[in-house]
Amino acid sequence: MAEAIMGLEEPGSRSRMTRSKWLLIVVALTCAVPVLWFTAFRSAAEAPLTCDAQYEALVKQAKAQLTNGNRTAAINSLIAARNKLRDCETPSAKDVAPIWRN
């Protein structure tokens, strides 16, 4: 009873608590490292297409569809290419300027 009031511990209980903390840290790192590794290197391996490449792909797709006689799909591909070109445009200073002056 006096040990419970005084907070005295058994000699081995502190090392058990330390071991359990280390075990928890090791388990957490074991789970976290592969996730971080794959997210970092997957994005480098699968680099997204640039705007130019996406635009060119849409134009080639439109040409192929026009060659096959599908005019509607070709027009839709050209519209998508035009929209891609708009999305990829570098904004000018006039575009990013504030509407109201300070």
- CB contact at 8 A, 65 and 73: yes
Residues 6+ apart with CB under 8 A from 58: 77, 78, 80, 81, 84
- CB contact at 8 A, 57 and 49: yes
pTM of the model: 0.44
Instruction: Output the tens digit of pLDDT for each of the chain's 102 residues.
Output: 555 555 555 555 667 678 888 888 888 778 777 777 676 666 544 445 688 888 999 999 999 999 999 999 999 999 999 998 888 877 666 666 666 665
Q: How far apart are CA 60 and CA 80, in angstroms?
A: 12
